[in-house]
Chain A
Amino acid sequence: MSDLRTIKITVLRYRPEEEDAPTEQTYDVEFRDDWVVLDALNHIKDHIDGTLSFRWSCRMGVCGSCGMMVNGEPKLTCAAMLRDYYPNEVRVEPLVNFPIVRDLVIDMTDFMDKLKAVKPWIIREEEKPVSEGEYLQTPDQLKDYKQFSQCINCMLCYAACPVYGLEHDFVGPAAIALGHRYNLDSRDEGNQQRQHVIASKEGIWECTYVGECSVVCPKHVDPAEAIQQTKVATTTNRFKSLVMPWGNKK
């Protein structure tokens, strides 16, 4: 095919049973104009080196599995076009700030624990019986949280966040944004159950509003804004409870 070009792909390799520290390996990959970095990785695995390990699933920016560092930037590899890098080489590494399990696969246990801690689901003080129907919501009420509900848990924001890089206890952008998403949901009554996590020292107060999380977010969730909104709301409530201690703290 005339439209094939060859690009160098350097991949970080780490096979814990064979080596103590990560190394790197370079592959020459013939690619078509519409190939993304993930296509190149799949090409390597299928035709050049079957031992390469990486996560992927949907290939269309929905599942959030294929996040990796591409030339030092956290990216969904299914959305990083090879032609944008050609003729330079492409370096693919696992997301930084996470332990590596193998090659490009990171250990996401820390993120999963934090995600669970913010209880990202609708909490009701009392569930009404199904026979009473749905919890209705107006388009305006949906608009309040919709942006923050677009998160696909790809963890690019954790790789981009310099605070998470320094302070691993930081609850982090995606988990806080998701907690905020449920706090903003008119059907939810779980604000108090999330507050001790979100407004902890390790929560919103650790963030210094660098904003890189929002820059790299492939779904435009803007987690930095979620954290900022939560800081303002928490501070307002705190001052209110100091001035009016008799007020309803809910």
Chain B
Amino acid sequence: MTATTALSAPPAPVRPAAGRSPAPAARRRAVLHWIAVHTVAVAAALFFVLPFVFVFLTSVMSDEQAMSGTLWPTEWNWSNYAEVFHTPGFLDWWRNSLMYAGLGTLFTVCSSVPVAYALARFRFRGRRTAMLLVISTMMLPPQVVVIPMYLVWAQQFHLSGSLWPLIIPMAFGDAYSIFLLRQFLLTIPREYLESAKVDGCGDVRTLLRIVVPMAKPGIAAVALFQFFYCWNDYFGPQIYAAQNPGAWTLSYGLESFKSAHSVNWNLTMAATLLVMAPVIIVFFFAQKAFVEGVTLTGVKG
């Protein structure tokens, strides 16, 4: 399982020296322990995996069978997936999701790296206060400031009905990304930056030539988190894009898809899997960066 080894492997258990078998009683206890642990593990795995299995099985059923409440498909209708893609709007939702997530991630990373670098490495008055404010913003429920923001975007800029009110703010730093990047940049030894200065590197060049290459894992983690955040976002598109189906994202459109196909659970489940697929595929390609990021939020620091 090369794809999964990245989820930090625990240290190998200490085995008794070869050739000297342990006492039978201890051995039997170890076997019983193994059986107990793995029985629980299989039960837990069923809880986590079965929903995916049922969703998939339903997604290939015929319309009639999906209404009958049986578990195993009698015939495999792969055409359900084609039908989902041919639903009016579905491809637009894909395009909008990619645009929101792609541009949002790009803007966030470009605007957050210099801020995080300054917070991690520059000495200035008010640095502690700035960090406190970043963390406060991070904790703030998005609903708290949404009403005045919506009024500005809708009344002054006439941008409601599009995703731009969600994308543009990301060019001005994202608190969560700044926080994570700062935590990561703190791990870069100061000596590297000092030697760059001695070599005559300016601050911007130090950032681009030394800091960014060294912080690649941290930047990758932040980029992934932001991509997933945008891809999964429901509240934002609901506020700004709801009145214009041409601007809907997959996460927002999926719900209306269910309403339009209220009895066709099979098509809804196919659409559900198609919304899940990109994040899961991205995860398998970038697992290491992702798990590192999750760990960074909680453990380091």
Do A and B interact with each other, yes or no? no
Q: Which residues of A contact B (CB under 8 A)?
A: none
Q: Which residues of B contact A (CB under 8 A)?
A: none
